[in-house]
Amino acid sequence: MAPSISRKIAFDVLQRVEAEGAYASDALHAELDVGPAAAKLKAQDAALTTELTKGVLRWRRLLDFLIERYTSKPVERLDLAVAIALRMGVYQMRFLEKIPVRAAVNESVELVKRARKSSAAPLVNAVLRKIAADAKSPADKFLLPGMSAAERLAILHSHPAWMVKRWLARLGEAQTIALLEANNHTPRLSLSVHAVEQRDETIRALETSGLRIEPGALLKSAFAASGGSPARTEAFRAGQISIQDEASQAIPLLLGVRAGDRVLDLCAAPGGKTAALARAAGESGTVVAADLHAHRLRAMAAQLKRLGLQNVQLIQLDATSPLPLRATFDKVLVDAPCSGTGTLARHPEIRWRLRPEQLAESREQQKLMLANALDTLAPGGRLVYSTCSIEPEENEEVVAHFLDSSSTVRAVPAAAAAKTLAPHLAPHLDLSEFFAATDGFFRTAPSAQRTDGFFAAVLEKM
């Protein structure tokens, strides 16, 4: 019996993530929204595919820990197809109430056969049947005595131990556990509507298409969707909505772009923030959007065309080198490439790819980008430096380097930075949740705001 379409797609996506370094969200979009099977795929099948893919990636450490109790070797030494089939089987038995154990076992065996690893089918069958007896037992009953707190939490909450250890040192146990738990929850699928006057009409159209719509948690202009794929709706195809986390939507608002401004978006792809800047600058403004990779700029061009935005000039450049730009800009956004530790719920594969030494490497790259960006900022202009990281190396340490060494750059006080965002914030929120009075920086936390974890510093050139 062939495995179900949901499991086949999830298995193939997981292989791409592990073997090719693909991002799960991109691979799922290619299969579920625009791939050859997308039109025929039922909504419940697409939902199960996503659940299996993201769930296995989030809980990989715990799944491997449980699997290794019944194998004679670490999971990393198993053939990749076998490891993925085992993880999928254990995940279904442990986390999905509606999946019978027999189905989880049998379909995992069929996936191994489909991958031409039939010789491993008896192993997969035997291991999963042994695990089934303890599938719902608390995982802490299997932990060895004497484990460090970091190692214990790393297994139970499925994160790398080095990551947990540094968070414990900086945040304490309670905040660390809250962050770990938030990283293992399915994040809200946040949308923005581009024509505010058509907001209600757009929401009704999305609900008619079968989506469930809820108010945003952070911004007035945002809302959350569930029960289907917004990318398959007419509202999306017509450029009326975009899919973007609310914290990410907030970042360009901090610049306070006005009609006619000259704006530089230095690390622009995939373009969600660029679109917000272009709408704020209007037809009388100029927006230059830059990125290192040509293929990402091509994808941005298609995105901007879908949104009907024509006032954006795309340019390929390396932001760590002196910029080939003669003009100066009123507003500059540096949404710097980073570790992405604020997005581990949305992109769980990052936790398994990131290495601790990369944080310091990123910091040096980010310093170069920020230095080059400041050179293009006009006197009196405003620059926002942001990341989707929650690590000091990529955030406070980068900004402090310039504030401590430059007499022409200052941090915008918290009250002034908050004033720019205030008109856009949901009415029930207090700005003090996001701006620390001590440094004026903007921060969101997955455990507090139900968004990605973002950092932003608002700077001005004097």
Q: Read off the pLDDT band of 74 (50, 70, 90).
A: very high
Q: Return the structure tokens found at 275.
A: 């679109």
For residue 223, the enclosing domain spans: 189-243
Kindly give, in sequence order, each residue whose CB lies less than 8 Å from that of residue 238, ignoring residues fewer than 6 positions away: none
If asked whether residues 250 and 234 sit together in one domain, one would say no
If asked whether residues 262 and 228 sit together in one domain, one would say no
pLDDT at 132 over 80: yes
If asked whether residues 87 and 205 sit together in one domain, one would say no
pLDDT at 50 over 80: yes
Query: What's the pTM?
Result: 0.95
If asked whether residues 271 and 320 sit together in one domain, one would say yes
**Residue 194's domain is classified under what CATH number?**
3.30.70.1170
Tracing tokens 């069958």 back to the chain, one arrives at 125
- CB of 296 closer than 8 Å to CB of 270: yes
pLDDT, tens digit (0-9, with 9 covering 90-100), for 144-178: 899 999 999 999 999 999 999 999 999 999 999 99
- CB of 257 closer than 8 Å to CB of 331: yes
Q: Read off the pLDDT band of 2 (50, 70, 90).
A: confident
Which of 142, 159, 176 lies at the terminal end of a domain, its last residue? Answer: 142
**Residue 16's domain is classified under what CATH number?**
1.10.940.10
If asked whether residues 114 and 13 sit together in one domain, one would say yes
Which of these ranges, 34-48, 258-272, 277-291, 336-350, has the smallest mean pLDDT? 34-48
For residue 113, the number of C-alpha atoms closer than 13 Å in the C-beta half-sphere is 12
Degrees, nearest 5: CA angle 20-25-29: 100
- Quick one: average pLDDT of 231-260? 95
If asked whether residues 283 and 221 sit together in one domain, one would say no
The answer to the question of residue 167 being in a domain is: no
- Quick one: average pLDDT of 250-278? 97
Q: What is the pLDDT of residue 1?
A: 66
- Quick one: average pLDDT of 15-39? 90
**Residue 425's domain is classified under what CATH number?**
3.40.50.150
- Quick one: average pLDDT of 224-251? 94
Q: What is the pLDDT of residue 184?
A: 97
pLDDT at 438 over 90: no
Q: Cα separations (Å) of 193 from 29, 66, 230, 236, 419?
A: 20, 44, 12, 10, 22
Q: pLDDT above 70 covers what percent of the chain?
A: 100
pLDDT, tens digit (0-9, with 9 covering 90-100), for 391-435: 999 999 999 999 998 889 999 999 899 999 999 998 888 888 899
The answer to the question of residue 434 being in a domain is: yes
If asked whether residues 317 and 237 sit together in one domain, one would say no
Which of these ranges, 165-179, 219-233, 337-351, has the smallest mean pLDDT? 219-233
The answer to the question of residue 157 being in a domain is: no
Q: What is the pLDDT of residue 39?
A: 76
pLDDT at 298 over 70: yes
The answer to the question of residue 61 being in a domain is: yes
If asked whether residues 266 and 211 sit together in one domain, one would say no
What is the H or E stretch that residue 403 is in? helix 396-405
Q: Read off the pLDDT band of 3 (50, 70, 90).
A: confident
pLDDT, tens digit (0-9, with 9 covering 90-100), for 251-263: 999 999 999 999 9
- Quick one: average pLDDT of 299-321? 96
Instruction: Using DSSP bridges, classify how beta strands 329-335 and 312-316 pair: parallel, antiparallel or unpaired.
Output: unpaired
If asked whether residues 206 and 285 sit together in one domain, one would say no
Q: Return the structure tokens found at 435.
A: 């701006």
Q: What is the pLDDT of residue 427?
A: 84
Kindly give, in sequence order, each residue whose CB lies less than 8 Å from that of residue 31, ignoring residues fewer than 6 positions away: 9, 12, 13, 37, 38, 49
Q: How many residues does the chain have?
A: 462
What is the residue-averaged pLDDT of the chain? Answer: 94
pLDDT at 38 over 90: no
Active site residues: 388
Q: Kindly give the residue spans of alpha helices, DSSP state H, lying in 308-379.
A: 350-353, 357-376
The answer to the question of residue 454 being in a domain is: yes
d(Cα 220, Cα 434) in Å, to the nearest integer? Answer: 16
If asked whether residues 434 and 451 sit together in one domain, one would say yes
Overall domain count for the chain: 3
The answer to the question of residue 181 being in a domain is: no
Which of 243, 270, 288 lies at the terminal end of a domain, its last residue? Answer: 243
pLDDT at 196 over 80: no
Burial group, residue 234, by CB count within 10 angstroms (0-12, 13-18, 19+): exposed
pLDDT at 59 over 90: yes
The answer to the question of residue 177 being in a domain is: no
If asked whether residues 271 and 138 sit together in one domain, one would say no
The answer to the question of residue 172 being in a domain is: no
Q: Is the peptide bond before 270 cis (omega within 30 degrees of 0)?
A: yes
Distance of CA 378 to the CA centre of its chain: 32
If asked whether residues 91 and 133 sit together in one domain, one would say yes
- Quick one: average pLDDT of 27-42? 85
